[in-house]
Chains A and B, each alone.
Chain A
């Protein structure tokens, strides 16, 4: 049973440009296991939305089935949400996005939900470059059905059940790159400093933004032999660099050391500042991103941070050339051609 969070507001809580406190972006109290990585990701989503000053009701949260897919109840209580069916959130998100292009679509999925039952829909949402942020809460197992290995579990990794996984892992960022994804990032639930700006950048990106977040399952897959445990990830994560997201209206105040540093202006005017970039990665070059992923995989480390971004991405609405006005706002006057036209059609059928 979950409850709505009490509407108590501390008078000194910081408010964003819209006058909202962070509490305005929270949801019901979580019923996930204490320490579950998914809850930390929810926290990062709350922070990112608050800091971006998005009106909470202008976000639609969609998910499939799993502990991860339950998480949207626990953030953004003022947003509409849709807990759909297992693996099929991308299609629901696609339809929703077609109906109203003016909302921000946030998809939340699990590694089972995405990399197994939902693989088909996931790949096709990427291919269409649907304008959405797609967060995979990746714990290498099926939490909600009690810990079976998932398709993202590394070969040889063993969950609490004990048997090492005999199959190779599906690497979602690698796959997404191959499929032509226009924004690919990986992060770790325990690294809010990295995850929050990545979510902001993803939300500002026009097109499909994949953020694969390693998110340990404390109940079934946080043991010594697991490569998705807190400890393993902390030891093996290697960041591509640091990402700072500067919203459009803000001045850039931080000064960055010269060297491996790049600035990107997003389509809404915000600026993404990438610095301390790994020498072997150009995140605006797909081939370079693919190579970097592969190099890190071979070296046994987990590459995190912004892996790739296409600055000229065109989303599905642009490709289909749909009306600027949301389709769900059109009425009879826009949609119904009327009886006269119909009579002409009749005439052509005689």
Chain B
């Protein structure tokens, strides 16, 4: 058997049981590699359950800087007997399967093309610890110590990290270091190490940070000036408001009075959360909510009202696989259509697609400027993969000169100068009208907010002409919006090509890697990352420029492709789909395969969509 050999370029997966404290040990492992100067991309794959079910943690290590899922597993560390049969199957030929050999491995599972390494984790724990909880917790730390020896990691980096992680809880530092040493020493004394896959210090991290997108969003809301947060708990969005609250408690206490310069409302449901955001925004505060698919469905009626009544609204949608009894703890980009056209009547909603924690922070803060400038809902579309996993990211940055753009709001003096205020009068010709906050002026500027049964002065009317006129203005505003939302990013290959890929959000990293694979095989593709809806003219030009464009996304129905086809009135020939919707982040190998299958002249019969599905599942890991 030929064992896999690699330095600083591999995929390792941990198979654990939910609720056993493995998360912090796994984090420690990933962060240690990061501190050794290696780009890492850890991903949690966890069940909708608090304790007892299988959970996985996959870490991509790539000195070349690929941060997406590659596909395939080089090292599997399996401490969950329940998932062992599948886990061992996933290992690449020549890869490594590390397991707890306190109990012997079921003979039926043994593969001859895989290196099988046993660690007596339970035995070591039983000898060392009496308390069952300690046995469970330290087992995780012990395997991190063992891995350090197997992969030739810098042990000092790990121990230093333990010191940092338990700052303030110093009592815990020594026991953890002891557990690390137990694992480390066992391997040194009993096993051949390092194995064929190993790590070496590098300098590929620079000033980057390791941060989850949801925390970045919470910080974005703090920096963007949000004072009202209304929400209803739902995975994977909950940690957005958690982060907002954590930082608000530190950074938003009025120094004079000790009182809070923010209000957090845990609403009774998502309808109420959205209503609260609309009420607060209508009244001149910056407000936001965070939710996921089922919540977005519930917010739909209110999103229509906010669209028609033109009330700034900020919604962070951390997408997941639907429905609630679907795979709520798995990732997808499957709310695109329901968000883009959310609500009754003719509505179009502004969407932002961040791809990194840095963009979560930037777009998160920008959402408030956009919502107030454009007087419409801004729906920021992130997903579980970006939101709940640590992602390597550019550091966060804030320009201290920056002023909030509060949009077109008239104060008392402005109103004094006005003959007559018209809330829905397009004075500037850009489709955006002036608004007033309640309580501004004793005689002027008050109006009655309602949907569309009103004229330009907000006086009640049900005349069809007025309705039409207003709807045309909203379309004119939609044109204006295109100039305000983040522009797409284009990456052109050096060779001339008539084919391209288009992706958004978390599909970026794997797409980038897949394009490198394809380039090595002589297939060159231009690339565009869309960062917002409405699509700008640049997107349209890019589509027209190419014969064939692969739209890469993480849902079944090719939702962004549908949106592109609808908005640009394109036929189905030009836009091809590359899809993944098994709840795991799309992988580079998967993208490569799906593109190859659909390249002209390729010998593979193009599969119908249902067939492609099979290729995107966990099974593709073995491909």
Contacts from A to B (Cβ < 8 Å): 1-4, 28, 55-58, 60, 62, 72-73, 77-85, 88, 90-100, 102-103, 120-121, 123-124, 128, 317, 320-325, 327-328, 330-332, 334-339, 341-343, 345-346, 349-350
Structural contact, A349 and B210, CB atoms closer than 8 A: yes
Residues 188 to 223 of chain B near chain A (Cβ within 8 Å): 207-211, 219, 222-223
Structural contact, A320 and B263, CB atoms closer than 8 A: yes
Please name all residues of chain A whose beta carbon is closer than 8 Å to the beta carbon of B520 when the two chains form the complex.
Answer: none
B38 to chain A minimum Cβ distance, whole angstroms, is 13
Structural contact, A322 and B397, CB atoms closer than 8 A: no
Structural contact, A88 and B285, CB atoms closer than 8 A: no
Q: List 19 extra interface pairs beyond A95-B276, A95-B287, CB under 8 A.
A: A28-B460, A57-B446, A83-B449, A84-B278, A84-B305, A94-B279, A95-B279, A100-B284, A100-B437, A103-B439, A120-B269, A321-B260, A322-B261, A323-B254, A323-B257, A332-B403, A332-B404, A346-B396, A349-B211
B357 to chain A minimum Cβ distance, whole angstroms, is 9
- Residue B346 CB within 8 A of the other chain: no
Structural contact, A337 and B227, CB atoms closer than 8 A: no
Return the contact of B228 from the options A72, A99, A325, A346 (Cβ within 8 A): A99
Please name all residues of chain B whose beta carbon is closer than 8 Å to the beta carbon of A60 when the two chains form the complex.
Answer: 283, 438-439
CA distance A55 to B279 in the complex (A): 21
Interface string of B254-267 (1 = CB under 8 A from A): 10010111111101
Return the contact of B275 from the options A2, A81, A88 (Cβ within 8 A): A88
Structural contact, A323 and B260, CB atoms closer than 8 A: yes
Q: Kindly report which residue of chain B lies nearest to residue A334, judged by CB atoms.
A: B261
Task: Pull 14 A–B residue pairs with CB atoms less than 8 Å apart, ordered by A.
Answer: A57-B446, A91-B267, A93-B279, A120-B268, A120-B272, A124-B268, A124-B272, A322-B260, A322-B262, A327-B280, A331-B404, A335-B225, A337-B223, A338-B400
B26 to chain A minimum Cβ distance, whole angstroms, is 17
Query: Which of B267, B285, B398, B438 has the most A CB atoms < 10 Å from its CB?
Result: B438
B461 to chain A minimum Cβ distance, whole angstroms, is 6
CA distance A57 to B282 in the complex (A): 15
A28 to chain B minimum Cβ distance, whole angstroms, is 7
Please name all residues of chain B whose beta carbon is closer than 8 Å to the beta carbon of A80 when the two chains form the complex.
Answer: 436-439, 446-449
Structural contact, B302 and A88, CB atoms closer than 8 A: yes
Q: Kindly report which residue of chain A lies nearest to residue B253, judged by CB atoms.
A: A323
Residues 439 to 470 of chain B near chain A (Cβ within 8 Å): 439-443, 446-451, 459-462
B210 to chain A minimum Cβ distance, whole angstroms, is 6
Query: Which of B269, B276, B448 has the most A CB atoms < 10 Å from its CB?
Result: B448
B218 to chain A minimum Cβ distance, whole angstroms, is 11
Give 5 nearest A-B pairs by CB, closest first: A91-B275, A95-B279, A99-B285, A80-B438, A95-B280
Q: Kindly report which residue of chain B lies nearest to residue A88, judged by CB atoms.
A: B275
Structural contact, A82 and B227, CB atoms closer than 8 A: no
Please name all residues of chain A whose beta carbon is closer than 8 Å to the beta carbon of B209 when the two chains form the complex.
Answer: 346, 349-350
A60 to chain B minimum Cβ distance, whole angstroms, is 5
Please name all residues of chain B whose beta carbon is closer than 8 Å to the beta carbon of A345 when the two chains form the complex.
Answer: 219, 396
Q: Kindly report which residue of chain B lies nearest to residue A327, judged by CB atoms.
A: B227
B101 to chain A minimum Cβ distance, whole angstroms, is 36
Q: Chain B's interface: helix, strand, loop or mixed, by majority?
A: loop
CA distance A1 to B443 in the complex (A): 23
Please name all residues of chain A whose beta carbon is closer than 8 Å to the beta carbon of B225 when the two chains form the complex.
Answer: 330-332, 335-336
Return the contact of A72 from the options B34, B442, B448 (Cβ within 8 A): B448
CA distance A128 to B461 in the complex (A): 36
Return the contact of A342 from the options B223, B268, B281 (Cβ within 8 A): B223
Q: Kindly report which residue of chain B lies nearest to residue A3, judged by CB atoms.
A: B459
Return the contact of B397 from the options A73, A102, A321, A339 (Cβ within 8 A): A339
Given contacts A95-B281, A99-B279, A124-B268, contact A85 B223 (CB under 8 A): no
Given contacts A321-B259, A327-B262, A339-B399, contact A99 B275 (CB under 8 A): no
Interface string of B233-270 (1 = CB under 8 A from A): 00000000000000000011010010111111101110
CA distance A180 to B284 in the complex (A): 30
CA distance A20 to B622 in the complex (A): 80
CA distance A123 to B272 in the complex (A): 12
Residues 270 to 301 of chain B near chain A (Cβ within 8 Å): 271-285, 287, 301
Please name all residues of chain B whose beta carbon is closer than 8 Å to the beta carbon of A321 when the two chains form the complex.
Answer: 259-260
CA distance A100 to B440 in the complex (A): 12
Structural contact, A99 and B259, CB atoms closer than 8 A: no
Please name all residues of chain B whose beta carbon is closer than 8 Å to the beta carbon of A84 when the two chains form the complex.
Answer: 275, 278-279, 305, 449
Please name all residues of chain B whose beta carbon is closer than 8 Å to the beta carbon of A325 when the two chains form the complex.
Answer: 254
- Residue B230 CB within 8 A of the other chain: yes
Structural contact, B439 and A335, CB atoms closer than 8 A: no
Structural contact, A96 and B283, CB atoms closer than 8 A: yes
- Residue B395 CB within 8 A of the other chain: yes
A133 to chain B minimum Cβ distance, whole angstroms, is 16
Please name all residues of chain B whose beta carbon is closer than 8 Å to the beta carbon of A334 when the two chains form the complex.
Answer: 254, 261
B203 to chain A minimum Cβ distance, whole angstroms, is 14
Residues 309 to 337 of chain B near chain A (Cβ within 8 Å): none
Structural contact, B272 and A328, CB atoms closer than 8 A: no
Structural contact, A1 and B223, CB atoms closer than 8 A: no
B180 to chain A minimum Cβ distance, whole angstroms, is 21
Return the contact of A91 from the options B222, B276, B398 (Cβ within 8 A): B276
Interface string of B459-487 (1 = CB under 8 A from A): 11110000000000000000000000000
Please name all residues of chain A whose beta carbon is closer than 8 Å to the beta carbon of B400 when the two chains form the complex.
Answer: 338-339
Structural contact, B439 and A100, CB atoms closer than 8 A: yes
Residues 13 to 39 of chain B near chain A (Cβ within 8 Å): 34-35
CA distance A15 to B246 in the complex (A): 51
B399 to chain A minimum Cβ distance, whole angstroms, is 7
Please name all residues of chain B whose beta carbon is closer than 8 Å to the beta carbon of A77 when the two chains form the complex.
Answer: 446
Please name all residues of chain B whose beta carbon is closer than 8 Å to the beta carbon of A328 when the two chains form the complex.
Answer: 227, 280, 283-285, 437
Given contacts A60-B438, A323-B257, contact A73 B282 (CB under 8 A): no
A97 to chain B minimum Cβ distance, whole angstroms, is 8
Query: Which of A56, A85, A99, A331 has the most B CB atoms < 10 Å from its CB?
Result: A99
Given contacts A78-B443, A102-B439, contact A85 B284 (CB under 8 A): no
CA distance A219 to B441 in the complex (A): 38
CA distance A325 to B256 in the complex (A): 12
Please name all residues of chain A whose beta carbon is closer than 8 Å to the beta carbon of B227 when the two chains form the complex.
Answer: 98-99, 327-328, 330, 335
